[in-house]
Homo-oligomer: A and B are copies of this chain.
Amino acid sequence: MARWKKLAVFGPGLLGGSILLAARERNLASELAVWARRPEALDEVAQRVPGCLTTCDAAAAARGADLVVLCTPVGAMADVTRALRPALSPGTLVTDVGSVKGSVETALAPLLHGRARWIGSHPMAGGEMQGISAARASLFEGSTVVVTPTGSTPPDSRDEAASFWEQTGARVIDLDPATHDRLVAEISHLPHLMAALLVGVSSPASRGLAGGGFRDTTRVAAGSPKMWREIFEQNREATLAALDRLLEGAGHARRLLSEHRGGELEALLASAAEIRQSLRFSHHE
């Protein structure tokens, strides 16, 4: 028997589509529903997830759902929540997939207070891919999902959200929203910005020589500019703080190189190499 009665996904992109595919494949919910702002955005998900209710009526998608997952861009979540809110019941668990958690918590917790149970989530999967066409049932297998309970999150809401993500194949980590945002600035938002800047430094001539190093260091720069602008704006302070630490490190490395302090430069490289060699990733490495 499926764990959830009705799972409603808002936003049929890579993550929303993959949630629906995983829920279907793993029988996580008896009923599936998906909402999109534009009807044409529903065509492919209707084909790939037969029997899933597809609608542009937010209340119709949410009605009767015991689990709602917001998969729209972060900036659209408050509006979508206002539209679906009348159809919620107090037992409904609402979560999201936004890459930034502080601003989402601030926007959604007051809207949902007393109307449903709420907890933020961030599945760290998908990379630079976009859209329902890249969606797959296995997207979350071996990935990490952060859930972001706050002081006012009931433990059962946290446990049910964690259980849902675990059933998609992910491992779950708990962080408060501000800590989440600081950490992802370091390992996702800043690396994205640097990848874009490295592309900007390259020229057509140098790109003609580019091999595996450039391919890997800049891969994420292919991601959606609109989505990443929003991530940077939503996580401005933590991204700036991480960028300032990088600029400080770059200035130091610049001095070591220009002042012929090769031993110290090698020690800096050795520290990074030792850390990087110690990392293990669940996918592809």
Q: Contact: A206 with B184, CB < 8 Å? A: yes
Of A15-23, A108-116, A248-256, which binds chain B? Answer: A248-256
Q: Contact: B201 with A245, CB < 8 Å? A: yes
Q: What are the interface flags for A181-210 relative to B under an 8 Å C-beta threshold, 1 for contact and 0 otherwise?
A: 011101110111111111111110111111
CA distance A271 to B194 in the complex (A): 14
- Chain B's nearest CB lies how many Å from the CB of A262? 6
Given A195-B272, A272-B196, A273-B222, CB of A188 within 8 Å of CB of B213 = yes
Q: Name the B residues within 8 Å of A144 (CB-CB).
A: 209, 211
Q: Contact: B200 with A187, CB < 8 Å? A: no
Indicate whether A215 reaches chain B with its CB closer than 8 angstroms: yes
Give A212-248 interface residues, CB cut-off 8 Å to B: 212-226, 228-229, 232-233, 236, 239-240, 242-247
CA distance A233 to B263 in the complex (A): 11
Q: Name the B residues within 8 Å of A269 (CB-CB).
A: 196, 221, 225, 228-229
- Chain B's nearest CB lies how many Å from the CB of A212? 4
Q: Name the B residues within 8 Å of A232 (CB-CB).
A: 257, 265
A281 (CB) vs chain B CBs: closest residue: B215
Indicate whether A56 reaches chain B with its CB closer than 8 angstroms: no
Indicate whether A2 reaches chain B with its CB closer than 8 angstroms: no
- Chain B's nearest CB lies how many Å from the CB of A134? 13
Given A222-B276, A229-B269, A277-B222, CB of A198 within 8 Å of CB of B207 = no
Q: Which of A215, A218, A250 has the most CB of B within 10 A?
A: A215
Indicate whether A284 reaches chain B with its CB closer than 8 angstroms: yes
Q: Name the B residues within 8 Å of A38 (CB-CB).
A: none
Q: Contact: B203 with A186, CB < 8 Å? A: yes
Q: Contact: B229 with A206, CB < 8 Å? A: no
Indicate whether A76 reaches chain B with its CB closer than 8 angstroms: no
Given A210-B279, A218-B191, CB of A223 within 8 Å of CB of B143 = no
Indicate whether A258 reaches chain B with its CB closer than 8 angstroms: yes
Indicate whether A83 reaches chain B with its CB closer than 8 angstroms: no
Q: Name the B residues within 8 Å of A200 (CB-CB).
A: 249, 268, 271-272
Q: Contact: A242 with B273, CB < 8 Å? A: no
List the interface of chain A (C-beta within 8 A of B): 124-125, 127-128, 143-144, 146, 173, 179, 182-184, 186-188, 190-203, 205-226, 228-229, 232-233, 236, 239-240, 242-247, 249-251, 253-254, 257-258, 260, 262, 265-273, 275-277, 279, 281, 283-285
Q: What are 29 of the A-B contact pairs (CB < 8 Å)? A: A124-B209, A124-B211, A143-B211, A144-B211, A146-B209, A184-B206, A187-B211, A188-B214, A190-B198, A191-B214, A191-B218, A194-B198, A196-B272, A197-B246, A198-B246, A200-B249, A201-B242, A201-B246, A210-B279, A212-B284, A215-B281, A216-B217, A216-B220, A221-B276, A225-B273, A229-B262, A239-B257, A243-B253, A247-B250
